[in-house]
Amino acid sequence: MEYRFKRTYQANIKLVVFDWAGTMVDFGCQAPVDAFVSGFRAMGVEVSMETARIPMGMEKRDHIKTVVGFAEVARKWERVHGRPVTDADIDTMYDNFTSLLLKSIESKSELLPGVLKTVDLLRKNGVKIGATTGYFTEAAEIVIQHAAKEGYIPDFTICSSDVPAGRPYPWLIFRTMEALNVCPPEAVINVGDTPVDIASGLNAGVWTVGVAATGNQMGLTEEEIRNLAAQEYKRRLESARESLFNAGAHYVIDRMDQFPAVVDKINACLARGEKP
């Protein structure tokens, strides 16, 4: 070709795709990690909450496979069971996880501070709202219904059970863009609290924003945060922020009420012709 046509998107953000646990609900992303730790314990293998949190954001069967693939966990498994983990073991742990999660998820699905105000402001500016999760359908439905009672109803919701592969693949984001008729990727922000969330946004070619204080990387409840010494809180928060920036996040916020200011910054970037 003698010529190459180059287009630059210079309008505002049209769509924000939010994760659920740790981003919009469930302070500290407690429900899934509790279920993972308990599920492994039921198989005779102790897994720390820190280890269970590493792949958070992935589809949950993939999450289990990733954890049992860690060298330390694999050694513990073989000491207990006398053999490597099998696909049948993965199936059993997934069944245990789903049962445990369904029992606890509703009590851990309250909206996080600033969510309703932020969503209302976005909608007033003509921005559509999508919601994605690594949860399976039954768990996602509980969260969706609980959030709706509190006033948060996204324009489109989708979970890992609805796509060929969950995060870090971009299909959840692409399906949301398709359903809400939004393009190009530059007009979209993906928001989540884990490195896997960030990876899915980068793979989709959209803007990515990490949430530090209320999410998986911090991993603390509101009460636990209140009981932390100021210096320890600062250390943990900086570590959470760093992990999200290292994953490639374009911006990192602590809490949802800081998000509108980030949208303004991204709109300014777009006006200058910048891309994610």
H helices then E strands: how many in the chain?
Answer: 12, 6
For residue 96, the model assigns a pLDDT of: 83
| Interatomic CA distance for residues 225 and 130, integer angstroms | 29
pLDDT at 17: 98
**Backbone CA torsion sign across 16, 273, 262, 192:** positive
Residue 91 among the catalytic residues? no
- The one catalytic residue in 14, 26, 60, 108 is 60
For position 1, what pLDDT does the model report? 55
Q: Is 65 a catalytic residue?
A: no
Let me know if the fold of 15-29+108-271 is the same as that of 31-107. Answer: no
Give CA 28 to chain center in angstroms. Answer: 11
CB 34 within 8 A of CB 207: no
Residue 81: Cβ-neighbour burial (10 angstroms; 0-12, 13-18, 19+): middle
Q: Which of 225, 185, 226, 220 is nearest to 206 (CA)?
A: 185
- Determine the CATH number of domain 15-29+108-271: 3.40.50.1000
pLDDT at 195: 94
Q: Cα(226)–Cα(240) distance, rounded to whole angstroms?
A: 17
CA 19 remoteness from chain centre: 4
3 state SS of 29: coil
Judge contact between 176 and 158, C-beta under 8 A: yes
User: CATH number for the 31-107 domain, one of 1.10.150.240, 1.10.760.10, 3.40.50.880, 2.40.50.100?
Assistant: 1.10.150.240
Domain definitions of the chain by residue range: 15-29+108-271, 31-107
* Tokens 């921005």 found at: 127
Sheet holding 15-18, edge to edge: 156-159, 128-133, 15-18, 188-192, 207-211, 251-253
Per-residue pLDDT of the chain (276 residues; tens, 9 = 90+): 577 778 899 999 999 999 999 999 999 888 888 888 888 888 898 988 888 888 887 888 888 889 888 999 899 989 999 999 999 989 888 888 888 888 878 788 899 999 999 999 999 999 999 999 988 888 899 999 999 999 999 999 999 889 999 899 999 999 999 999 999 999 999 999 999 999 999 999 999 999 999 999 998 888 999 999 999 999 999 999 999 999 999 999 999 999 999 999 999 999 999 999
Q: Nearest 5°: phi and psi at 200? A: -65, -40
What contacts 106, CB < 8 A, 6 or more positions away? 142, 146
Which entry of 14, 19, 26, 197 is annotated as an active-site residue?
19
* Type of residue at 37: V
